[in-house]
Amino acid sequence: MSESIVVFSHLRWDFVYQRPQHLLSRLARNRRVIFFQEPVLSKEPQAFLDIARPHANLVICTPRTPIATPGFHDQQLPYLNPLLQKVLGDEAVSDYIAWFYTPMALPLIKDLPPRAIVYDCMDELSAFKNAPRQLLQRETALLKAADIVFTGGPSLYEAKKDRHANVHCFASSVEAGHFAQGRAGGDEPGMQAQLPRPRLGFFGVLDERLDLDLLDALALAHPEWQIVMVGPVVKIDPASLPRQPNIHYFGQQSYQDLPKFIGGWDVCLLPFALNAATRYISPTKTLEYMAAERPIVSTPIVDVAAPYGDIVYIAESRERFIEQCERALSATPDERETRFRKMREVLGRTSWDATAAAVAALLENLHGHQPEPAAAALLSKATRPAESDDALQQQRLTPMKTDASKSSPVVVIGAGPTGLSAAYHLGSEALLLEKNATVGGWCRSIEDGGFTFDYAGHIMFSNDPYVHQMYQMLLGDNVHWQEREAWVYSKNVYTRYPFQGALYGLPPEVARECIVGAIEARFGSIAPVSAGKTEKIMDCCGDGLLEAEAPLGKYRSAGNDRRKSPRNFEDFIYRVWGAGIARHFAIPYNRKIWAHPLQDMETSWLGGRVPLPDLGEMIEGALRPVAKPMGPNARFGYPLRGGFQALMNGFLPHLKGELKLNTAVAGVSPAQRCVILADGSSHSYRALISTMPLPQLIRMTGNEAPAEVRAAAQALRHVPVRCVNLGIGRENITEKHWIYYPEETVFHRIFVQGNASPHCNPPGGFGLTCEITYSEHKPLPCDGDALIESCIADCVKVGVIRGDDAIVVRNQVDMPYAYVLYDHGRAKNVAVIRAWLAAHDILLAGRYSEWEYYNSDHAFLAGKKAAEQVSAQTMREQQATA
């Protein structure tokens, strides 16, 4: 028989059956395994060992000591050392391999040197709740002393591979035959059998890694679903568990009974939180669920989403998690079989028997060695009392500082217009990460049946000369400039936009009400501005366009101070535009587009001034048709070919740094100055520019973000947009470019994609995009094909298309983050987040990261500004070290 293995484990053998039990019970077939687990508090004054022998070659040792401090703490060592020496003597162990699951036990081998040392790193224990503060110090020593390192998944492998020369990834495996017993169902435990269907289940440890708020939301969203939670509650207060009547906690169950539970589930859950404790986990239950052939829904845990994203339903938010559960439950037999077939393919490539055999082969080739002097010093240091928190923090950060300062790039997250601009202006030092297969972010385009559609309508306009230089660089001659045709449809007629300046054609009583309302809103006389002087009329439609520059009347009433500070957006509309415009356009339209109560919104996004409509222009626009709008915003550009995507693709030849597509960021560690990717790899950074939505960024930092920062991020509100794209089988159906709909249509705006460029349409066709915002205040009226049919019906109703028009292409795209909401807490919440990120040298750039109301030209400038800030900081650091 080969030499013995002495295992030091923070997990108890009779706890949840998982990786240590699977591997070591198999290794014990040919080796003696001494499993020395964490001590248990005893009332006896003398320490002693409880010995169990579940298998012939397996010895389970449970130290019992009078010390209350848990784990392999320094206070336990005087009791544990003699107990370890005794069991090794009793078992006649002289030549052995030391196998560590926790670095905290490292001091125990100081006087009992092993032939070789194995570190089986199955979790990033330092990220777990109540982790000992010495743990990182001792792990550094263990990595120096170890002969071989195993990791429990690809994420951990990426984290450890550069810290040791002999690291091997042995990801979670499975006893497929055991869990396949759950496929048939039927033999359920009595506690579960009485529950109605459908049932959604989870087994495993219930601790800080679970998203308890997600569980609560899931139960509330579907009270008819039964949620089964099987497993012990550890490190968290059981009172913190959600207690909805349809959530059932069945405690820890035996490994043998788990297939019986799964057999009665309709969906298997992986409801993990995205925090520091879950950043590197590789859940064994993923493959166990697969063996039972049950649909699986998971949050985007890296070691689940990366290898199994086409098998497991992945959900990036709580709302999406609920939707994915709905989707899993309603999947057709063919859809289920497709996923089950892929599950069987995965299971055919792995087993715990194969993993144990591979590990055993590596152990046979181990040749022990004396630790190098540095490792010996660290090993000695690990036996001393813990250093101060400051010292440990310095030790934690120093290796990353060294790598980042010498070779790490400037990482830019997101290849939308802001990220592309930042990477372009940074040059060769940029590493640009994009989760999609193409660049562009929400400025991407899709092609379907010869039609080109953008993700919502986009155009090119700017008052900034530098942006126009970029347009020229990015597109050259591939650009189409034209005069804008923006219209409003209300009262069954089309009028030009802006609404208040083109009342002609509306019913006379509506025009009168709008003009009188504007007059009454003044509370005083109007004095026209001097000839030629203009001020901006800000965007009262919230679609991101400064629609015109026109002369404004100056408000001069001394008694009108209250109007200088409107209480909210709705108050602003009434005070500035008057009751008529408010009633017939501004209120209904903005309620549609913002999908939130307008009283919940403040007005800083509208600009620093309170613009007032020019009464002369209003009256003129009510008496006769208004000519095409003039001014710098009346003319816009669009790529001639390739959709708005062409503008984004124009960056590609000019990027000097590295661009990685299909590269999703799954975590960000400000403390370690690195980003963790969905495939388990990671990148250190010298500086980080984030363009991803601010709430997502904070979620990805996990528990590194203070509670007040996480709370501020959760409080940020936004508006999603669903775009229904229609390819009409008729040419030139309208001359308009976009149309606003304040009244009863499912969409708030139509972007006439077919007029953006003649090359957006195939011969004989014409493209339209119907834009629909939604929220908890204004949910989508329907979804899927029903939503498309509703848009088609409304397009016929308002006269955009005819009832006999052929719809040759129909599709829809969803933009979860479309508009940031300027609610009353936004400024304070953003300031809290910005302050913390700034302290960690993370720059925010762009609409979703700065949580500002940006257009694409602003995005170009925001990326440029961020790049310049990084360059300036680099120069200051170089000067400081010169």
pLDDT (mean) for 29-41: 94
174 in Cβ contact with 262 (< 8 Å): no
Burial 80-111 (b: 16+ CB within 10 A, else e): bbebbeebbeebebeebbbbbbbbbbbbbbee
- Residue 777, classed as helix, strand or coil, is coil
**DSSP class of 491:** T
Domains 4-172+364-382 and 176-350 share a fold: yes
pLDDT (mean) for 160-174: 89
| Rounded Cα–Cα distance for residues 566 and 570 (Å) | 8
Pull the structure tokens for residue 683: 């990148």
pLDDT in tens, 112-135: 889 999 999 998 888 787 778 778
- By mean pLDDT, which of 514-523, 561-570, 644-653, 663-672 is the weakest? 561-570
Give the pLDDT confidence score for residue 537 in this predicted structure: 37
Q: Is the peptide bond before 588 cis (omega within 30 degrees of 0)?
A: no
| Rounded Cα–Cα distance for residues 247 and 242 (Å) | 8
Residue 514 has pLDDT above 80, yes or no: yes
Give the pLDDT confidence score for residue 250 in this predicted structure: 95
Q: Is the peptide bond before 198 cis (omega within 30 degrees of 0)?
A: yes
Residue 376 has pLDDT above 70, yes or no: no
**DSSP class of 137:** H
Residue 308 has pLDDT above 80, yes or no: yes
pLDDT level of residue 820 (50, 70, 90 thresholds):
very high
Residue 398 has pLDDT above 50, yes or no: no
Name 114's Cβ contacts closer than 8 Å, sequence gap at least 6: 6, 96, 97, 98, 368
pLDDT mean across residues, the chain? 86
Q: What is the 3-state secondary structure (H, E, C) of 272-318?
A: ECCCHHHCCCCCCHHHHHHHCCCCEEECCCHHHHHHHCCCCEECCCH
433 in Cβ contact with 663 (< 8 Å): yes
pLDDT (mean) for 75-86: 93
Give the pLDDT confidence score for residue 428 in this predicted structure: 92
Give me the percent of the chain exceeding a pLDDT of 90.
67
Residue 391 has pLDDT above 50, yes or no: no
- Residue 455, classed as helix, strand or coil, is coil
pTM score, whole prediction: 0.56
Residue 379 has pLDDT above 50, yes or no: no
Give the pLDDT confidence score for residue 393 in this predicted structure: 29
CATH class of 445-459+718-820: alpha beta
| Rounded Cα–Cα distance for residues 231 and 218 (Å) | 19
CATH of the domain spanning 176-350: 3.40.50.2000
Opening angle at CA 210, ends 209 and 215, nearest 5: 170
Give the pLDDT confidence score for residue 605 in this predicted structure: 81
| Rounded Cα–Cα distance for residues 219 and 199 (Å) | 11
Residue 654: how many CA atoms within 13 Å on its side-chain side? Answer: 17
pLDDT (mean) for 58-62: 95
Give the pLDDT confidence score for residue 283 in this predicted structure: 93
- By mean pLDDT, which of 58-67, 121-130, 139-148 is the weakest? 121-130
Residue 526 has pLDDT above 60, yes or no: no
pLDDT (mean) for 641-667: 93
Give the pLDDT confidence score for residue 612 in this predicted structure: 55
Give the pLDDT confidence score for residue 123 in this predicted structure: 87
pLDDT (mean) for 827-846: 93
Count the Cβ atoms, other than its own, within 10 Å of residue 187. 13
Pull the structure tokens for residue 751: 């972007």
pLDDT (mean) for 540-545: 43
Give the pLDDT confidence score for residue 367 in this predicted structure: 55
Give the pLDDT confidence score for residue 565 in this predicted structure: 73
Which of 3.40.50.2000, 3.10.310.30, 3.40.50.300, 3.20.20.140 is the CATH number of 4-172+364-382?
A: 3.40.50.2000
Residue 681 has pLDDT above 60, yes or no: yes
Give the pLDDT confidence score for residue 611 in this predicted structure: 45
pLDDT level of residue 378 (50, 70, 90 thresholds):
very low
Residue 743 has pLDDT above 60, yes or no: yes
Give the pLDDT confidence score for residue 371 in this predicted structure: 41
| Rounded Cα–Cα distance for residues 271 and 247 (Å) | 13
Residue 554 has pLDDT above 50, yes or no: no
pLDDT (mean) for 287-295: 96
Pull the structure tokens for residue 627: 């000519």
Beta strands in 38-164 (DSSP E): 40-41, 48-55, 58-65, 96-100, 116-121, 148-151
Domain boundaries, the chain: 4-172+364-382, 176-350, 410-439+651-716+824-881, 445-459+718-820, 499-623
Pull the structure tokens for residue 558: 């001394």
Burial bucket for residue 440 (CB in 10 Å: 0-12, 13-18, 19+) = buried
pLDDT (mean) for 218-238: 95
More confident residue, 816 or 269: 269
pLDDT level of residue 136 (50, 70, 90 thresholds):
confident
Count the Cβ atoms, other than its own, within 10 Å of residue 437. 8
Residue 824 has pLDDT above 80, yes or no: yes
Give the pLDDT confidence score for residue 548 in this predicted structure: 34
Residue 178 has pLDDT above 90, yes or no: yes
| Rounded Cα–Cα distance for residues 803 and 556 (Å) | 52
Looking at CATH, the fold of the domain delimited by 410-439+651-716+824-881 is given as FAD/NAD(P)-binding domain (3.50.50)
| Rounded Cα–Cα distance for residues 554 and 552 (Å) | 6
